[in-house]
Chains A and B, each alone.
Chain A
Amino acid sequence: MVDENLYQGYLKALLAGRRSECHDTVTGLLAAGIGVKELYDRLFQRSMYRVGELWEENQITVANEHLATSITEGLLNLVYPTIFASERIDKKAVISCSANEFHQIGGKMVADIMELNGWDGHFLGANTPIEALLEYVQEIRPDLVALSLSILSNIGNLTQSIDAIKSDFPSLDVLIGGQAFRWGGADVARQYAGVELIPSLDELENLLKKI
């Protein structure tokens, strides 16, 4: 559904800050019955990665990047009705970004995919301190915890979170993911029992179907 033409048009509008044009593209796709995962991966993720590359190459400013982020975050809300219409299966997950990790769009998507698969996805948002994460886990008693990492140099914060969870809740399964792992750090998962690195939303969904 997201063909090259549509994507390029959307990207242009996103970079130029044309909110309503982006909004119309997404409502159009939703009305045509696009899958949430396809929308997330092929439109939102692809365009935001491109935004990051353009910033890296000094072709757009930080402000353009922030504007694209703010538009994308707004558009995520359009998906709510689809997500919450799905049938519940009485399973809970806590999804969080580690301390000092301010990239939250990916984590939010993970929570949405869980909701779509009938889970209750409790998303704690960006920069969650370890103590807050532990408190929340204690309160909710989830079936699993998913942690998102974007900045590879923050990996120390991620392992601290895992250590803390594993020490307080040894049998709780932990999923880790996020773009940091495109660049390295995959062995973290191998250092722990019950911690799995999930490279994509597709893989996440496959796993959820098995649980």
Chain B
Amino acid sequence: MTPPDECKPVQDSMPIMKRLKEETAAYHAKLESLPFFKMLMEHRLPLECYVNQLRALSIIHGVLESEMAGEKAVAVFWDDSLRKLPLLEKDLAYFQPRVLLDARGPVAAALAVTEKIRLRRVEKPITLLGCLYVFEGSILGNRMHQADIAANFHLEGVNGCRYYFSYGDQVGARWREFSQKINDTLGDSADHGDIVAAADETFAGLETLYRALYPLEKSAQSFHITRINPEAGNHPMPQDEREIGAALRASAQGWNEFGYYLQRYGQRGKRFSDSDTCWLATLAALEPAIVRQQIDWLCRVLASRGMPTIMMEYSLRFLSAELAKVVPEKQASYQKLVDAADSLRAAREKIVASSDLQSLSAEFDQAIPDDMAQDYRNTGKLLVAAVADEKGGIKGSVAALQGWLTDPQRFSGGWIGAVTSILQKAQRIVAAGSDQVSEPGE
């Protein structure tokens, strides 16, 4: 038996990158030997396998990248140039016209990997580096396969294989830089073992994924919500392409109406709006009471995250109109969405009259600096609506909006004053209104 003191120092003094390489080598080799890669190298891989791979990777990268970017414990290792999601999205967009369905197996495998990533962030965030190691390392391997991909699918240049061409001609330099940073920063920290375990776990997840990618199970294919938003998780979406298109147009119209959304939530937020609107479209098939219940739930979720319910009213109306345009025969079902919007409006008007909402919103537009008017169009309405949401029982609705809109790092004193003032006025109106409507003895 080897005495413990003979092997331990070797382990500890070994740089983490070397240890990662050695201890995951077998996994790595196993992955590369799977039929998916064999078919790819023989240029016989079906296109739907490749595209489903890109989609599955976009689910994983979507989550990994937002967890890495938001986590202090790994901040020194992260910068936006490591993001692969934008490349994957471009590749997917390239294949978009061919409408290849989402295969259930690979999506499930990718979601399982993201679940582990999310857990790592709460339990031991430094171990996210083990996951990152696997994907950064795979860039080297991808480069070997890029020619195969181009040949297999008759691609020109980097069209459709930008992900495989990550870092362009910097691929070697970027890998050395990554390795160096990891080695230097982690030194001989006690976390090495856990980081290696995270890499192993990621490889195991990828093995499941690549086994599901080839051969693809044909019967288990449909549109999955992660094609709209890689971070959407797992919820229903329409299976009729016309309805999907309508939902995306409605989502864009909603964002166009209120400038604040893009300013605050950016493209990632827009993707959530797209996936949520797709989900809303599926509700039209349900009983009105269920529609209402589900919409109320989403309103609570969104309002507590800074997205007041008035936006839902607009979205539902846009959505219903867009849906009816492309699938007129289902107009009666889509009307349920308008009915739900009407009842949201009625609930809001019980708390704040529309005339007050309009006049406060106009006053706000007068008060804010001119150069903000376009980027933040209709923000006054959102502020008043948030007060109504709060009064209607959605705790934290005002704070979720106010906190961001009065952050001095982001906004001028004039703007902040206008926001604060409109909120106070709306709160006063709401308080006065509730005095009037409350019944004696209530």
Contacts and interface: CB of A to CB of B under 8 A. Distances in A.
Do A and B bind?
A: yes
B268 interface: no
Contacts of A155: 286, 290
A191 to B, nearest CB: 12
Contacts of A64: 122
Contact of B119 (A67, A151, A154, A156): A67
Contacts, number: 64
7 contacts: A56-B300, A58-B400, A61-B122, A62-B118, A63-B67, A67-B122, A153-B236
Contact of B235 (A57, A62, A70, A151): A151
Contacts of B78: none
A152 interface: yes
Contacts of B193: none
A149 to B, nearest CB: 12
Contact of B294 (A70, A102, A152): A152
A185 interface: yes
A23 B273 CA distance: 39
B9 to A, nearest CB: 31
A172 B147 CA distance: 57
B304 A100 contact: no
B309 to A, nearest CB: 14
Interface of B: 67, 108, 115, 118-119, 121-123, 220, 233-236, 279, 282-283, 285-287, 289-290, 293-294, 297, 300-301, 304-305, 395-396, 400
Contact of B396 (A57, A63, A70, A152): A57
Interface string A172-186: 000000000001110
Size category of the A interface is 20 to 34
Contacts of A62: 118, 233
A66 interface: yes
A58 B304 contact: yes
Contacts of A142: none
A106 B305 CA distance: 28
Q: When A and B form their complex, which 10 residue pairs have the shortest distance between CB atoms, in order from nearest?
A: A63-B118, A58-B304, A63-B122, A183-B293, A184-B290, A58-B305, A67-B122, A57-B304, A153-B294, A184-B289
Nearest to B123: A17
B119 A70 contact: yes
A88 to B, nearest CB: 34
A133 to B, nearest CB: 14
Given A57-B396, A183-B297, 15 more contacts: A56-B301, A56-B304, A57-B304, A58-B304, A58-B305, A62-B118, A64-B122, A66-B118, A66-B119, A70-B119, A100-B234, A153-B290, A153-B294, A183-B293, A184-B293
B123 A100 contact: no
B119 A63 contact: yes
A153 B123 contact: no
A62 B67 CA distance: 11
A80 to B, nearest CB: 23
Given A102-B234, A129-B220, A152 B305 contact: no
Nearest to A19: B123
A66 B279 contact: no
B123 A67 contact: yes
Nearest to A70: B119
